[in-house]
Structure 1
C-alpha cells in the first residue's frame, strides 16, 4: 500500500443513534485529496465504564485516516448506565450508520472494519465474530483488536483474595450480576465462546509485558480462530504494556492500515 500521508478533515459531535433520550455521537476523520478506501469504526477502551471517543485520536484515528480510510470514533453506553447487550447494540447501530453514509462520505468500498483497544477491542471482536449459537453473522468485514479482553470467562476467575485486591470485575457490571459462562446471554459477550469459521478476518495485537490483559489472552484467541479455520493474524510487540506508546509505531500502524486495505479494499475478496 502507499505510504503517502493525507490531510485529514475532522467532523465532530455527529449523532449516529438516539436511544432512551440519549444522543450517541461520533467524530469522523476523513482523508482529503482522495475518496476514502473504506470505512473503519474505532472503539475506545476504558473497561466498559469510562473513556471517550477522542482518546488517542492523534496516534490512532487520525493516523489511519492519513492512510486513506474514513474513520468514525464513536461513543457507546457504559456498563454502569446500561447492561450488555446495550454496548453491542450501539456499535451495531454505528456500523449500520456508516454503511448508510457511504455515498455521502464518498467511500469507495462497501466494506466496513472495526478497530478497538482494550474494552473497545473486545467490542470490535464481537462485531467480527457474530454469534454462532443464534445464527447471527458478523457485522463487519474485518477487525483489529489491541490488547483486548477476548477471554471473558478467564477474566472473571480468581481467588477471594485476588478479587479483594483488584476490586469488582467490570464484566460483572456488564451483565448486572455474576458472570456465568453457562448462561447463553453471558456467552454472547465472551469472544472466545463465539469463535467459528464464519468469523470475519481478524488481526490481534498485544504486548508481551501487558499486566492488565496478558498477552496469553490474544494468543488463546489466535489458536481458537486458527483451529476453526478462520482468518487470523497475531502480532506481539516485545516490551509493550497496556495502552503502551510502544505499540503506536510506524510499523504497528502500518500493519493495521495494510490489514484493512487487504481486507476492505476494492480488490479484497467479496464479503462472504
Structure 2
C-alpha cells in the first residue's frame, strides 16, 4: 500500500506543468532502494556565508553547478522546517536542492534564529533579511537577482509563504532601508498558512497549534497580542500582487492540516493575479520530500518545471 501511494504521488507530481514525460519507474525504484544518497557529482557547495550579524544563525550555504556558468543563474532560496524550534541548513530538502543545482540553478540554504530562545517575528525577519542579502550580493556568485524564488517545508513553508506575501509589512520586515525583498515565485510545502483558522477549514489541531506557539514561539498569547498573531498568518496578506505559488501537501499529513492548506490556496487563487497551483499527494505524510525515497525525485522535477514555467511567463 505504501509503495502504491508513493507511485500515485509520483504520477500526480509528473502532471505539474507537464512536459510530456510520465513519472519515471527507474527513478521510483532507485529512490525506494537507495533513499539515502550523497550529493550530485555535478554540484558544489560554498559553506557558511554570513547574511546577517547573528553568528551561525545568520549563515547560508550556496549550491551551484560545477564549472563556469554561461549566464546568470536563477535563484531558489530554501528555508528549513522544524516547528520554528529545531533544524539547520543542509538537513532538509537535499533531493530538491541537489537537483535544482544540477539543472543550472543557484540554490541558497539558510539558517535562522530559532525559538524558544528567540520569539516571533524574529524568524520571518531573518528570512526577509536573507532575501535582501540575496538580491544585493548574488551576482558575485553568478546568480540572477532578477529571479529569486522561495521554498520551504513545514515551519519553513509558513515562513516562505509569509515572506512572499508580506515582505514590506511593518513589524515583519527588519531594518533594511529601501532594499527590495520581493520574490518572483514561492513553493511552500506542507506548511501552516491560516494559524487562527480564519477559513474555518482546519479539521484538527487548532487548539494544539495555539498552545504550542504560545509556549514556545510567540512572545505573548493571542489574547495579549492578537495583532502580532494575525500579522504572522500568511492568509492575512493575500493580495492581487502575490507571486506565483505552487503549494504541495500530503493527504495523510498528521502535523499540518490538509484542508486548511487547501482553503488557503483557494483564497489565494481568488485574489491573486498570478498562477496558484495546489497539489495534494495520495498517502503522503509530513516531510515526505526529505529523503531521496519516492516521491521526492518527482517532487524535485515538479518544482523545477513550475519555476521554469514562471520564468518563461516573466520573460514574455
Structure 1 length normalisation: TM-score?
A: 0.84
Q: Return the index of the structure with the highest Cα Rg.
A: 2
Matched with 1:224 is 267
SS of 1:241's equivalent in the other structure is coil
Matched, 1:157 2:206: yes
The answer to whether the Cα contact below 8 Å between 2:72 and 2:144 also exists between their aligned partners in 1 is yes
- For the aligned residue pairs, the C-alpha RMSD in angstroms reads 3.0
Q: Name which of structure 1's ranges 54-63 and 254-263 shifts more when overlaid on structure 2.
A: 54-63
Question: Which of the numbers 190, 193, 196 marks the counterpart of 2:233?
Answer: 190
* Pair 1:248–1:66, CA change in 2 (3 A): farther
Matched with 1:16 is 51
Question: Which of the numbers 277, 281, 297 marks the counterpart of 1:237?
Answer: 281
SS of 1:110's equivalent in the other structure is strand
Matched, 1:28 2:62: yes
User: By percentage of residues, which structure has more helix?
Assistant: 2
Distance 2:45 2:283 in 1: 33
The answer to whether the Cα contact below 8 Å between 1:205 and 1:236 also exists between their aligned partners in 2 is yes
The answer to whether the Cα contact below 8 Å between 1:26 and 1:53 also exists between their aligned partners in 2 is yes
Matched with 1:85 is 121
Structure 1, unaligned runs of 5 or more? none
Q: Which has the higher contact order (CA 8 A, sep 6+)?
A: 2
Matched, 1:255 2:267: no
Distance 2:255 2:79 in 1: 18
Q: What are the residue-to-residue correspondences of 1:1-272 with 2, within 5 Å?
A: 7-19=42-54, 24-33=58-67, 34=69, 35=71, 37-108=73-144, 110-130=146-166, 139-154=182-197, 157-158=206-207, 163=208, 168-170=211-213, 173-179=216-222, 183-230=226-273, 231-245=275-289, 248-263=295-310, 265=311, 267-269=312-314
Distance 2:301 2:260 in 1: 23
Compute the displacement of 1:189 (Å).
Answer: 0.7
